[in-house]
Amino acid sequence: MNDHRYCVIMADGAGSPKQLRDTYDRFLQVMPQDHILVITPKQYGASAVSTLPELKPENLLLEPFARKTAPCMGYAAYTLLARDPEAVLVASPWDLVIRDEALFADTIREAFEYVEENDVLMTLGIVPRSPDVNFGYIQVREGRNAHLMAGPLKVKTFTEKPSEELAQVFVRTGEFFWNSGIFIWKAATICAEMERYLPEVTELFRGWQEQIGDPSFVERAYTECPKVSLDYGVMERTERAWLYPARFGWADIERL
């Protein structure tokens, strides 16, 4: 089953070359380099090649325009489905700081194992250390002190950057986690859920089976694509949203 595991690094240009290098090297702990893709706006393509000279050309996906994470994932997931119908992928931003990388790798592997057996949309939820108002929060259905539990938890709600008072309540209950922005799912499952909840995006990729590798096809799709995030477009609406608790050190580099 490990032969079907992939990584998609979403490099929107907000980070530095060092962040891309660090993120790429981090995922080398859990899969071979041939299974790591980088997707980035085309104006950052040369920088990605310079930073990752070992990256195969077919594993660098260039977005014609920045359209947020949902179109980005549509492009990446359809690309992987065309290569491997059984593909399971972890999608990660390139601008995160991770501490305790061994625990990070173990957490990714454990989440992969669950997703391989279940058609769910998994996000890594960071056990919060403080009531930080700069992060989004995810509530799970298991209730109070869910942060002490191990294994996957069912998602209940998403809240984007709450007030200080609300953040304190969230952390005190133990049923809220920081939203890491790291997802794990089968390519077929995320495509099916996007087709259900974001047809305005997926309809633009009609014909992907034969044309997803054609830059002109991708450019036509992106020209009409709305700007929409995965959280807003899919995760807040799907019944398949699950959370895997993560206890490694984590930070969004923009907040450091």
pLDDT, tens digit (0-9, with 9 covering 90-100), for 110-169: 999 999 999 999 999 998 888 888 889 999 998 788 888 888 999 999 988 888 999 999
In the chain, count H helices and then E strands. 10, 11
Q: 63 pLDDT exceeds 90?
A: yes
Residue pLDDT, tens place only, 161-193: 888 999 999 989 989 999 999 999 999 999 999
User: What HEC string does 170-199 produce?
Assistant: HHHHCCEEEEEEEEEEEHHHHHHHHHHHCH
Q: Which domains does the chain carry?
A: 2-255 (3.90.550.10)
pTM (2 d.p.): 0.93
Q: Strands 5-10, 36-41: parallel, antiparallel or unpaired by DSSP?
A: parallel
